[in-house]
Structure 1
Amino acid sequence: MPSRYLYLVRHGEQKDAEHGLPDGPLSKRGVSQAQAIAERLGDVPFTGAWTSPLQRARETARIMTERLPSLTPEPSALLMDCIPSGPAPDMPHAFEPFFGAITEQEIEAGEAQMADATGEWMAPSREDRHDLLITHNFVIGWFVREVFDAPRWRWLGINQANAGLTIIRVRSAKPPVLITHNDLGHLPRELRSGLPQEQPY
């Protein structure tokens, strides 16, 4: 049975991200993270690669292709940072403040984007594929939610560190499988960043 493997990589750490800048270049640590994930994926026979068009993702892709020269990531608006869905009646109240400054237009745009993204990359393939997607925390959280057919709000709280690796297997006759989530084995402790709360892992 042919399988499609999705290698979802969150971009490297953004420089000055703590100041609330919406986008920007990678920090020195982010560059090292991108190099490390490229080394980790060096033996994967990639069929294709795509990246969010935002600067922090594009720079991650550029650094990765320096070590993986056979890759030519294509920018895709389907991998942009977004709000994948809005609040729902069954959502825990603790998540409600997150949506305070988010507009209905942002939610509608995110919902449409992620419907197209999962339609594009969660569809079974007629041959084995290995696809690399360099994207953002919420986008990866939505893909993981999709694997489990969880409630639409459940991308909230599914978090990925910078340069964390998530792998999903998509098959034609069976449900998709989450092979690994937020794997950081390629990153030494000093290079681990990007989770809501730093933890001693």
Structure 2
Amino acid sequence: MATLLLVRHGRSTANTSGVLAGRLPGIALDERGHAQAAALPDRLAGVPLAAAVSSPLQRCRETLRPLLAARPDLPLHTEERISECDYGDWSGRKLAELADEPLMQVVQGHASSAAFPGGESMRAMQARAVDAVRDWNARVEAEHGEDAVYVMCSHGDIIKSIVADALGMHLDLFQRIHVDPCSVTAIRYTRMRPFLVRLGDTGDFAALAPRESAEPNGAAEVGGGAGAP
């Protein structure tokens, strides 16, 4: 079956301001995010791509723009099911203030039971995203063969939930997975099982240098965080 390259969008203005953007309109890449997106064509230069699939949100479309410019024959498809989690009433709020919400403890430790007020549950988020991947795997394979590779640009929690599914992990464990802005995660799907062959690869190991923790007390960054400074 197909190989999927999951690209998290580049760093956004919401990431740097510590806001949980969700599906709010007008959330663009910041200066660093645009630089990350501009580097993507060279990072993927050695990979023949059959298709590009994008979340409908602006920050994902902006991330793919340089890649599409470098490969004008690469078809682009918009997929609603890989849009950001619908955080409902939490959308647009500062992550620092959300940390004190009782629901945040559920999001961190028991995600399968977490549902955002006025939004969706994390279980529903994962289900729609995984269904989208399965459908696109079948479509890409049917049109381009079982060795085809395609790219999908989405969001932190979406990508983490897809990776958890590929690894056979319960959703309650998905906060153990981390993907930086504009990182590439590769999953090779086969008839028997998926293989995770890259996870959150930015090609930059500077992020591993000691720094002030972005995950105090081991808490995951809901929405994915802004990456290394």
Hey, what does 1:130 align to over in structure 2? 149
8 Å CA contact 2:181, 2:226 repeated in 1: no
Q: In percent, how many aligned pairs have the same letter?
A: 28
* Secondary structure class of the residue paired with 2:120: helix
8 Å CA contact 2:185, 2:198 repeated in 1: yes
The farther-off stretch of 66-75 and 157-166 is 66-75
Residue 120 of structure 2: which of 106, 111, 114 is its match? 106
| Aligned CA distance change for structure 1 residues 181 and 152 (closer, same or farther; 3 Å) | same
Distance 2:57 2:186 in 1: 22
- Shift in Å, 1:43: 2.4
Gap runs ≥5 in structure 1: 85-91
Task: Give the CA RMSD over aligned residues.
Answer: 3.3
Relative to its length, the structure with more helix (as a share) is 2
- Shift in Å, 1:12: 0.6
| Aligned CA distance change for structure 1 residues 149 and 65 (closer, same or farther; 3 Å) | same
- Shift in Å, 1:180: 0.8
The farther-off stretch of 47-56 and 109-118 is 109-118
Gap runs ≥5 in structure 2: 88-104, 208-220
Query: What amino acid sits opposite 2:117 in the alignment?
Result: T
Length-normalised TM-score, structure 2: 0.69
Deviations 1:35-70 (A, max 9, x none): 112211122111111000001001111222122323
Question: How many residues matched?
Answer: 187
* Structure-to-structure mapping, 1:1-201, within 5 angstroms: 3-17=1-15, 18-20=17-19, 22=21, 23=24, 24-82=27-85, 95-96=108-109, 102-103=116-117, 105-107=119-121, 109-121=124-136, 125=141, 127-172=146-191, 174-185=192-203, 187=204, 189=206, 196=225
8 Å CA contact 1:7, 1:132 repeated in 2: yes
* Secondary structure class of the residue paired with 1:9: strand
Runs of 4+ in 1 over 6 A off after TM superposition: 97-101
